[in-house]
Structure 1
Amino acid sequence: MAAATLRSVLRRNSLLPLFETCRLRDLFFFSSSVDPAAAVGVTTSPDPHFTVEYLVNSCGFSPSEAAKFSKPLAHLRSTEKPDAVLNFMRSQGFDGAGIRKVISLKPNYLCVNVEKNFAPKFQFLRDLGLSESDIVDAILKNPAILCLKVHRSFVPKLEMWKSLLGSRELVLKHLKKTGRFFFSNVEKTLHPNLKFLTDECGIPEERVFLVLRSQPQLITNKPKSLRALVARADELGVPRQSRMFLWTLNILQRVSKESFEAKVEFMRRFGWSESEFSSAVRKAPSFIGMSLDTLRRKMEFFIIVVGCTPSFIADKSYLLLFSLQKRVIPRFRVTEMLKSKGLLTGQAKFTYILQLSDTKFLEKFVLPHKENVPELLDILRVEGVCKGK
């Protein structure tokens, strides 16, 4: 997609201050569905325990939680609307925990008119092709969907992201995982971030879009935060022209500076210098997103069992990306058995063997020897790598 097209998409959708609208609407809530008695300022006070008891008995909240969430519901005089809301949500596939999550984030949802506010939204999501479980997942991750006007807010946002990601199906796929990207402000966040990446960082738009299709959250960071991520990548020496640059940004946004520094120190104990750490990140940035325990087990296996030096692992840091249980250990056991039978010379390096696809690995190192060394298939079956071969 060309630069003009991108900016045209953003400009067309720039009059959608979605969060601002939702916040204002939150203040006044759904005026059409608020209890009429509250709207005209009725001064009679209901039983102070009424709402708390309802939240405990009907929703399953603890008394302390109910007391906290009951405050926005002080105007309730009957259970008619809350009952309708709860019955509707149960009919749509929400379990008790899911209902409590939605209500805890916005207790006033219990006051809406189901037919006017909720039913049309659920029908719209079904019409998009989402299943019942898909809709539940999307709403639990993005409860703000329930406060959107379908045609005034949701549809324009959907079409804008469709233009950016390439398909409506891809937008919905991400929406089921996390909707943080979906609600970002176009003028204050998306447009400045894309302009920064393409114009100031010099990253080709095609490369930006490639990353966005799998990680749209990258451009939803606050512009200041995105610039800080770029500065961190620059410190690691990742060239902005490199194809790894955006992927490095994507990993860094999920790893705090404290966690990053902890990994630097952790790998130093294995003998890596800071320059080796930076080099390893430039080649395979995903490893810094792993837990320290996972890194420890992988480093110990490669050093103690396989016999690699720490510097060798730093130079080939992609080794840390392979699953220890599903790939590294089974393949190591296979190669060791082949060596013990004199069927594998030193010509085939273990690093090469690890990079082969499962199919290629079987074809080259297992199936040719299955008659003479049937134990090879047993090794892979035990590890869950090979089934029915």
Structure 2
Amino acid sequence: MLRLRACIASHLLPSPSTSAISTLHRLISAAAPAISPRPGFTVEDYLVDTCGLTRAQALRASRKLTHLKSRAKPDAVLSFLDSLGLSSTAVAATVARDPQFLCAKVCKTLDPVIVGLTDIGLSGPEIARLIPIAPDRFRCRSIVSTLQCYLVLFGSIEKLLWMVERRPYLLSGAHLDNVVKPNLVFLRKCGLDIAKLCSHVPMILTTKPERIQEMVARAEGIGVPRDSGMFRQALQAVAFLTEERIAAQVDYLKKTFMWTDAEVRIAITRAPMLLRISKDKLRYRFEFFISEVGLEPLYIAYRPAILSYSMEGRLRPRHYVLKFLKANGLLDQNRDYYSVVMLTKEVFVKKFICAHKEVAPHLAEDYEATRRGEVPTRFRFT
């Protein structure tokens, strides 16, 4: 235990030289008493009583620790985690995800990883956030080079943590040199903002380079050139979609919205994410726009972004507000629906609700009710 605390202290305190750390390790190791196995040690009970796992979790985890006959190593690892500030909940999550983490060698395996991560700028609390996400990766020194690569890509530790907390598989460093780095080079040549692209399609980093090249070709195939400002969205839309799926979606758009080949191409190049919207949502929006709002198919083709907005949160409530204002002579009858839909909620409320609060004091209340799925009496036009 004393040897372990010396290892951790060497990285949490101001940086002494490497030779000094090694000398300190040797001295403390020589002085530390041997740890003998406690009688009656059972892995499953240890996982429950000491690591905080449930009995069911402990049963599953113990199957990977059948070789463990003593609590010496797991005690050392738990002390290591405690020195980094991991909570009991985080410790339990770490062990449940990777039971073999308890068998890692602190000074030979875990300690060098902490040194490497500290060297690239991560603090103790930041490292503590990462360990429960992918503890198995902390048993591999390659995690340092992987995180260093992503740190350059995302530009800050906070953005990096945000990403890997949601996509732990990014921490796998097995294909860093022959997959991730070649993909980064190729995507940069395409003129893409890779950080933004990866925030929506993170798997694109860990996909085989030849598949990435096929995705880029498909994005160009739907009519969006690489030098277009829409190319990133086009690539996000077609990523991991087959040619057959894309063709089927295009055909559905043509039939549902009664678009010609030219019109559907216009719509897709202006809003590539139409290729990913479900058929039910597209049909629901089409019926609403045509039957209730009174839009023409061609109008929608040139303004396809409205198909991606929330029906309950934006499209229907704003339609009712506009209709109410027009019916009461408070708004120009020719006010364009699309221009209103595109406004932020704050601007919409200010211009179309707050501006009429004297003559329509219940408008704000009715608008919020509509956003909850209700239709207030004042919004019912017969």
The aligned counterpart of 1:330 is 317
The aligned counterpart of 1:282 is 269
The aligned counterpart of 1:43 is none
Q: Is 1:169 matched with 2:158?
A: yes
Distance 1:130 1:287 in 2: 44
Q: Deviations over 1:270-302 (max 9, x none)?
A: 245583444323211234344444434333322
The aligned counterpart of 2:340 is 353
Distance 1:277 1:294 in 2: 17
Q: Deviations over 1:176-215 (max 9, x none)?
A: 222444545443123432443455xxx33xx445645745
Change in Cα spacing, 1:248 to 1:348, as seen in structure 2 (3 Å) is same
Greater shift, 82-91 or 153-162, is seen at 82-91
The aligned counterpart of 2:180 is 190
Cα shift at 1:359:
3.2
Change in Cα spacing, 1:88 to 1:304, as seen in structure 2 (3 Å) is farther
Kept after mapping to 1: 8 A contact 2:134/2:171: no
Change in Cα spacing, 1:272 to 1:114, as seen in structure 2 (3 Å) is farther
Change in Cα spacing, 1:272 to 1:119, as seen in structure 2 (3 Å) is farther
2:295 to 291, 308, 332: 308
Kept after mapping to 2: 8 A contact 1:165/1:213: no
Cα shift at 1:337:
0.6
Stretches of structure 2 lacking an aligned partner (at least 5 in a row): 1-39, 373-382
The aligned counterpart of 1:109 is 101
- Count of residues in Structure 1 that have an aligned counterpart in Structure 2: 324
Counterpart residue identity of residue 338, structure 1: L
1:147 to 126, 139, 162: 139
Stretches of structure 1 lacking an aligned partner (at least 5 in a row): 1-46
Cα shift at 1:351:
0.6
Change in Cα spacing, 1:83 to 1:264, as seen in structure 2 (3 Å) is farther
1:367 to 351, 354, 367: 354
Q: Is 1:242 matched with 2:219?
A: no
Counterpart residue identity of residue 233, structure 1: A
Q: Is 1:221 matched with 2:213?
A: no
Kept after mapping to 2: 8 A contact 1:233/1:248: yes
Counterpart residue identity of residue 229, structure 1: M
Task: Flag the structure with larger Rg.
Answer: 2
1:60-209 map, 5 Å? 60=54, 62=56, 66=59, 70-79=62-71, 81-82=73-74, 92-93=86-87, 95=89, 99=92, 102-103=94-95, 106-113=98-105, 128=122, 135-136=128-129, 138-149=130-141, 153-183=142-172, 185-199=175-189, 203-204=190-191, 207-209=192-194
Distance 2:273 2:133 in 1: 25
Q: Secondary structure at the match of 2:353?
A: helix
Change in Cα spacing, 1:89 to 1:192, as seen in structure 2 (3 Å) is closer
Distance 1:379 1:317 in 2: 28
Distance 1:299 1:143 in 2: 48
Cα shift at 1:227:
1.4
Q: Is 1:59 matched with 2:49?
A: no
Kept after mapping to 1: 8 A contact 2:101/2:136: no
The aligned counterpart of 1:231 is 217
Kept after mapping to 1: 8 A contact 2:137/2:172: no
Distance 2:48 2:100 in 1: 16
Q: Deviations over 1:316-365 (max 9, x none)?
A: 21002222222212211110110110122232111111112233323332
Counterpart residue identity of residue 378, structure 1: E
Kept after mapping to 1: 8 A contact 2:143/2:172: no
Q: Deviations over 1:44-98 (max 9, x none)?
A: xxx9xx65777789733649x946x5554231223554567579879724649x9
Q: Deviations over 1:247-286 (max 9, x none)?
A: 2212322556676566445535524558344432321123
Distance 2:319 2:287 in 1: 14
Q: Deviations over 1:89-148 (max 9, x none)?
A: 79724649x946x556543223235687668868968x835858x955x44543444224
Kept after mapping to 2: 8 A contact 1:319/1:351: yes
TM-score by length of 1: 0.66
Kept after mapping to 2: 8 A contact 1:236/1:282: yes
Distance 1:147 1:363 in 2: 55
Distance 1:304 1:84 in 2: 69
Kept after mapping to 2: 8 A contact 1:56/1:62: no
Kept after mapping to 2: 8 A contact 1:298/1:320: yes
Kept after mapping to 1: 8 A contact 2:53/2:92: yes
Structure 1 vs Structure 2: percent identity of aligned residues? 30
Counterpart residue identity of residue 53, structure 2: C
Root-mean-square deviation (CA, aligned residues, Å) is: 4.1
Q: Secondary structure at the match of 1:352?
A: helix
Q: Secondary structure at the match of 2:267?
A: helix
Distance 1:307 1:109 in 2: 62
Cα shift at 1:242:
1.1
Change in Cα spacing, 1:84 to 1:325, as seen in structure 2 (3 Å) is farther
